[in-house]
Each structure stands twice: as structure tokens, then as C-alpha cells.
Chains A and B, each alone.
Chain A
Amino acid sequence: MLALDLLLQGIVQGAIYALIALGLTLIYGLLRILHVAHAALFTLGGYIGVIVTNETGSLPLALIVAMVSVGLLGIVIYRLAYKPLLDQSPLVALIASIGLFIAFEEVFRLVFGSYGLSFENPPLRTQVNLGGGLLISHSKLLVIGMAIVILSILAWLSTRTRTGIAWKATVTDSQIASSFGINIERVRYLNFFIGSALAAAAGVMVALLTNLVEPTMGAVASYKALAIIVLGGLGSVRGTLVASIAIGIVESFGTVYVGHILDRDALAFAFLVIALMIRPQGLFKAG
């Protein structure tokens, strides 16, 4: 029973990592930029989720507002911060991204205060019995359900629609894609919009689970998502998904069985180090 419980917990955590890391891996695949500031968009999503829910009482509305507005902000970040740097070494964009991330954290502190925000009436706290005494909160169910729905939509988009196929082609080889009339600038916008919206959704989910958003909540997300996309084989979507769930599950079991030696984050990195020793190219080769 404990094992099942831990597995479920790991999947919930892994689903959140997947939502964050997916945008990161898509952006890396397309532009070869490590978009560290992505984690700030995750935090912002959490803030918007809590604030809109508190103002309107509607969690679904909050989720939509968070995803759309943060998605648009992602496009703005690409346009203003990254696009002018694309001709430079990727290190320049990386430094810009780290700067942006720190700036965002400070802005959160100034605008929303250092102590963080919580839901006035925390939604979806009730537990459901999955049978056999296995309990799960509605919010965790929502996280898993959301992840499944979002990933299915993306899978459908990228395999069944011409826009999605063009998107994948552009991520693999934008120069050749442009030769076939694909507007790669538009693909980049789409990419930043979707990636950022997913991070915002993850932010709202974390807010739901912990009932707290604070300025620095993106810090752990930022380095762990980086670890995940490296483990997944930089730029590989499938690898990122597998690595997210794997790290979620390792953390969940690890904290119980070896938690007295290594804390949760140390565990994730120990796993990363061992996995990369066995497969230096990551779980999946980048596509």
C-alpha cells in the first residue's frame, strides 16, 4: 500500500516536472538556448493562479488566465531578450536568461511580497478513495489528469496536424524547414507560447498542492528541469517525459527509504549522475 502511495506521489511530481521541462526542451531543441528564466514563468503562473482564484473564485478561469498571459509573456521574452542574441554564442543568451530569472524573482518579491501568497479557500483539498484504502486528493488527481490531457493534445498536434508536423521539422532542422516555406519565426512564437503556458499550468498545480506561492519557488524547478532535460537527452521530447516521471518516482521512494541520508533534491541529482554515467548521451538521443 505504501509502495502504491509512493508511486502515485512520484507520478504527480513527475507530471509537474514534465509540464515544466517540456517547454525547456522544446526551446532548447529549437534555439539551442538553455532558457533558465523559464522557471520564473512557472512561478508567475502560480501567482496568477492564486490571485485570479482568490479574486473570482474560479480555478478553471485562473488556469486559463495564467496559461494565456504567461504564454504571451514567453513570446515577449523571446522577441525582446533572445531574438537579438541569436547570432551570438549560446552563452550570451544563457547569461541573459539567468539575469532575467533573477530579475523576475526580485520583481515577484517587490510586487507580491517576500512571504508568498496562499488560496483564501484552498480548492480541491478533499480526498478520493481509489479503492483499497488508497487515498488521493482531488488536486493530485487534477494534476495527473491535466498532464495526460495536455500531453495528449500535444501528441495529437505534433503527429496529426500539418502545423504540428511543421513544428517538429523546424525543431529538428529550421534551415531546411524554411526551404519548404515554413515560417520559422512563427514556429518560434508558437513554441514559446506553448512551452510557457505549460510552465504556468505547472505553477498553478504546485500552488494547489502546496497552497503556497513564493518568489523563490522557481529555483528548485529551474535546476531540476535542467537536470531532467539533460537526462532526457537534450532536445528530446520523449526523453524529457520519461526522465520527468523517473525523477518524480525516484524522489518519492528515495525520500522514504534513503531520505535520512540524502534529501529530496540531492537524491534527484544522485540519480542524474548515476544515469548519465550509464548513458552519457541521456535516455534518448536528441531528435
Chain B
Amino acid sequence: MLSVKNIQCGYGDIVAVHDLSFDAAAGEVFALIGANGAGKTTTIMALAGHLPPNQGSITVDGCDISAGPARERLQYGIALVPEGRRVFPDLSVEDNLTVGGHTLERARLATNRDNVYQIFPRLAERRSQLAGSLSGGEQQMLAIARAMMADPKILLVDELSLGLMPKMVDECYQVVDTLKKQGLLIVLVEQSTQRALDVADQVAVLESGHLAWQGSGDEARTDSSVVSAYLGT
């Protein structure tokens, strides 16, 4: 469904990701792991259309979207949960969801909002609260909920658990599991790898912008020396 071929991305003259390729299908969790500065966010932002790759291609169901703008990514079913959550702090929870559903018709907007509130009852309770006043974990849920508003097929999640309380991490991973069972492809970036490995169907390890290891989740879990060698855990 998502096919990345030999992409190279960077900032000006700096190349942050070299020659990265992978394929991922619906209903999978594709874990992209690596140390700080390895190029995970760069990859996610390229997939999200915020950083067009210098080389290579990104295709979704056969459509080449490499150079398309971020604004059109939802048309291809790609939604972003960015690093640092980046909810709109001075908008209410409900208005954050309205932005998430910006491309929807009015009736669909209301239906999808109700659906999202069912997955995240905690957000329903806080619907008129300003997003900036939520806890870190609640903001992460809002960021996921906002991305879910437009019925995406592919969810890009950058640093799901960073800075969250353990209990919240559990809840967020439960949501990932639910969404995966609903048939979404989840591209999951994590620095703390154990939880990501537990849910991953495929694993790619980035090291200084290079693909250092790639394999199935089972391989990564059974032969954890492979992963720990690259991540120094």
C-alpha cells in the first residue's frame, strides 16, 4: 500500500536520510526506530509531504505522491501525528478535531467526531477545554484523534510515547493496536524501542540516516541482539 523507494531527504546541503526503501501494507505496524538524530522525523515529514525528497519516490496504492504538497496527503489517506504532538493549544479539543476534519462535509464531520469520542472518551469529557490545558498524554490522544478525523488509511506517528507517563503509554499503545485491527497501516517512530517492537509487524532501524537493519517484527523480537547492537540498549 505504501511504497518508499530509494528516497534521499535533507535540509539544504545536509543529507539527513540516505537511500531509504521499504514497503508496508494495510493492517501493519511499521516501526521505524533509531537513536536521536538518526533521521526518523525527517522520514516522517517526507512521507507527510512537508519535506519533498531530493531523490526517490513515495507511492500509495501505485500513485506517486513524492512531490505533492502536505495539504493533499489526506486525499491519499495519509494523516500525521507529529513529533511533540503539536495540538493547537488555544483551540478547544472539539475545534482541534474540527481542524482534523477540515476536508470533510459537515455531516461527516459530526459523525466522525462522535466516532473519535467513542475511541477516546476522555476527550469527550474535555471537549470544550483548551487543548493547551490538557496533560501530555491527553494531548497525544488528541493528536491521534485529530489525525483520525479524516478517515485515514495510513497513520504516521512520530514519537508516540516520548515524555508520557507509563499509564498513558499503555493507553496509547492500546489505541495503536485497535487502529491496526481496523486495518490501518501505522508507521510508528519511537526512540524507546521495546514497546514499538512488541507491536511491530516490520522493523527498520535507522542509523545516522542510513538503513542499518530491516526485518520482520518476529525477527527483531527473537533476535533482539540485532536491534540492540544498533541502538546500544
A residues engaging B (CB < 8 A)? 159, 162, 165-166, 168-169, 172-173, 175-184, 287
CB-based contact A165/B86 at 8 Å: no
CB-based contact B103/A178 at 8 Å: no
Residues of B within 8 A of A178 (CB): 50, 69-71
Give the Cβ gap from B173 to chain A, nearest Cβ, in Å: 23
CB-based contact B150/A180 at 8 Å: yes
Bound form: Cα–Cα A175–B149 in Å: 18
- Chain B residues 86-121 with CB under 8 Å of chain A are 86, 88-91, 95-96, 98-103, 109
CB-based contact B102/A182 at 8 Å: yes
Bound form: Cα–Cα A165–B151 in Å: 20
Given contacts A169-B91, A180-B100, A183-B71, 16 further A-B contacts (CB under 8 A): A162-B109, A165-B95, A166-B99, A173-B88, A175-B70, A176-B80, A176-B82, A176-B86, A178-B50, A179-B49, A179-B71, A179-B79, A180-B146, A180-B150, A181-B150, A182-B71
Residues of A within 8 A of B79 (CB): 179
- Chain B residues 57-87 with CB under 8 Å of chain A are 69-75, 79-80, 82, 86
**Which residue on chain A has the smallest CB distance to residue B71?**
A178
Residues of B within 8 A of A180 (CB): 74, 99-103, 146, 149-150
Give the Cβ gap from A282 to chain B, nearest Cβ, in Å: 15
Give the Cβ gap from B22 to chain A, nearest Cβ, in Å: 21
Residues of A within 8 A of B149 (CB): 180
Residues of A within 8 A of B101 (CB): 180
Give the Cβ gap from A190 to chain B, nearest Cβ, in Å: 14
Q: Mark B107-150, 1 if CB is under 8 A from A, else 0.
A: 00100000000000000000000000000000000000010011
Bound form: Cα–Cα A175–B79 in Å: 13
* Given A165-B95, A166-B102, also A172-B89 (CB < 8 A): yes
Q: Mark B42-64, 1 if CB is under 8 A from A, else 0.
A: 00000011100000000000000
- The contact sample of 19 A-B pairs, CB cut-off 8 A, is A165-B91, A168-B91, A169-B88, A169-B96, A172-B90, A173-B86, A175-B50, A176-B80, A176-B86, A178-B50, A179-B49, A179-B82, A180-B100, A180-B103, A180-B146, A181-B71, A181-B75, A181-B102, A287-B90
Give the Cβ gap from A55 to chain B, nearest Cβ, in Å: 43
* Given A166-B102, A169-B99, also A179-B89 (CB < 8 A): no
Q: Which of A162, A177, A178, A180 neighbours the largest number of chain B CB atoms within 10 Å of its CB? A: A180
* Given A162-B102, A165-B99, A173-B86, also A179-B50 (CB < 8 A): yes
Give the Cβ gap from B162 to chain A, nearest Cβ, in Å: 17
**Which residue on chain A has the smallest CB distance to residue B69?**
A178
Q: Which 4 A-B pairs have the closest CB atoms?
A: A287-B90, A181-B103, A169-B99, A178-B70
Residues of B within 8 A of A165 (CB): 91, 95, 98-99
Give the Cβ gap from B94 to chain A, nearest Cβ, in Å: 9
Give the Cβ gap from B158 to chain A, nearest Cβ, in Å: 12
Residues of A within 8 A of B73 (CB): 179
Bound form: Cα–Cα A165–B86 in Å: 16
Bound form: Cα–Cα A279–B85 in Å: 29
* Given A168-B91, A172-B88, A287-B89, also A177-B99 (CB < 8 A): yes
Bound form: Cα–Cα A104–B71 in Å: 36
Give the Cβ gap from A194 to chain B, nearest Cβ, in Å: 18
Bound form: Cα–Cα A35–B212 in Å: 48
Give the Cβ gap from A90 to chain B, nearest Cβ, in Å: 19
Bound form: Cα–Cα A108–B95 in Å: 44
Give the Cβ gap from A269 to chain B, nearest Cβ, in Å: 29
Bound form: Cα–Cα A5–B228 in Å: 75
